[in-house]
Amino acid sequence: MKKIAITMGDPGGVGPEIIIKTLSSAGIRDLCIPVVIGDRVVIEETLSLLDLPLKLIIIKSPEEAGAEPGTIELIDMRMLNKFWGGKPSAEGGRACAGYIKKAAELALDKKVDALVTAPISKEALKMAGMKWPGHTEMLAELTGTDDYAMMLVGGPLKVILVTIHISLKSVPEMITRERILKTIRLAKKACDMMEIENPEIAVAGLNPHAGEAGIFGDEEIKEIIPAVEDAKKEGIAVTGPFPPDIIFHKVYKGEFDIVACMYHDQGLIPLKMIAFEQGVNVTVGLPIIRTSPDHGTAYNIAWKGIANPSSMIEAIKMAVRLKI
């Protein structure tokens, strides 16, 4: 079975809770050997909150993990003496960055087969003085990856993003022929990772009606269409650009396997509409497998024992499924 490193995420958020609930759920230990990377003080507090009959075992390396039923096997990073539940903190930002660095190192050294990350807070990272806006950019740097993309999977929808964590006003200048072509290539790679044979890739336009022949914007004419034609010349089965208000329905019906979206919310709004509690985030292009739940730290419900682990469960299942 695959060994899966699971980072604890922001200690003030729902990450610790959804990890514990996931590892106590039926079937997960039949799929993989989970290794949690975090802090003992937080995991012990979570076990107390949830009152689950699980035994915490501290290990030094994944080689010691054995997927013993009824246990949580933890690599204790000892980054926290105390923490604040329900809100971001500089201490939490430093800690979750430390967990990610450790997990990436283990994955690069082939000591684990995949990495699943619990939610972190961009605000906490900033409070801690970290330069990364999120997991995706951090892992790209830690693994020396230049070409990467965020893919979200939920129900019948799979979306991959040309731009990620930037302001909406900055998107048009980032919509370039080169960046779109890279994303189409990564869409093909993502389908290969999921073992989808002969995938059909769609590309969304940036503007209403995909620009309406330049009436509503010329990004489609100048950048998107040339990128699609370049990809076709490489033998990739890709079509577009489609008007953004129709393409997701086509993918939902099964006409395409994945859609390349121009910006963050263009892809995530329809996906979260149909799969808010089951969505999975995959970083495509890394030399390692990395997935995560498609939700944030949820400070408003953290440390109340009511967080839903469904997305974490699906993220682990996806990590087991993916090939690289």
Band of pLDDT at residue 165, cut at 50, 70 and 90: confident
d(CA 159, CA 258): 6
Amino acid identity of residue 192, one-letter, is D
Band of pLDDT at residue 136, cut at 50, 70 and 90: confident
Average pLDDT over all residues of the chain: 95
Position of tokens 């590309």? Answer: 203
CA dist list (Å): 43 to 36, 222, 245: 10, 52, 44
Report the pLDDT averaged over residues 216-233. 97
Report the pLDDT averaged over residues 261-269. 96
> For residue 219, what pLDDT is reported?
96
> For residue 190, what pLDDT is reported?
98
Band of pLDDT at residue 84, cut at 50, 70 and 90: confident
> For residue 83, what pLDDT is reported?
83
pTM: 0.93
Band of pLDDT at residue 324, cut at 50, 70 and 90: confident
pLDDT at 314 over 80: yes
Per-residue pLDDT tens digits for 67-81 = 678 899 999 999 998
Per-residue pLDDT tens digits for 15-27 = 999 999 999 987 8
Dump the DSSP string for 107-156: HHTTSSSEEEE----HHHHHHTT---SSHHHHHHHHTT-SS-EEEEEETT
Report the pLDDT averaged over residues 202-209. 97
Total residues belonging to the chain: 324
Alpha-helical (H) ranges within the chain are: 15-23, 28-31, 40-50, 90-108, 122-127, 135-142, 171-174, 177-193, 219, 225-233, 244-252, 264-275, 310-321
What structural domains does the chain harbor? Answer: 1-145+286-324 (3.40.718.10), 147-283 (3.40.718.10)
Per-residue pLDDT tens digits for 95-109 = 999 999 999 999 999
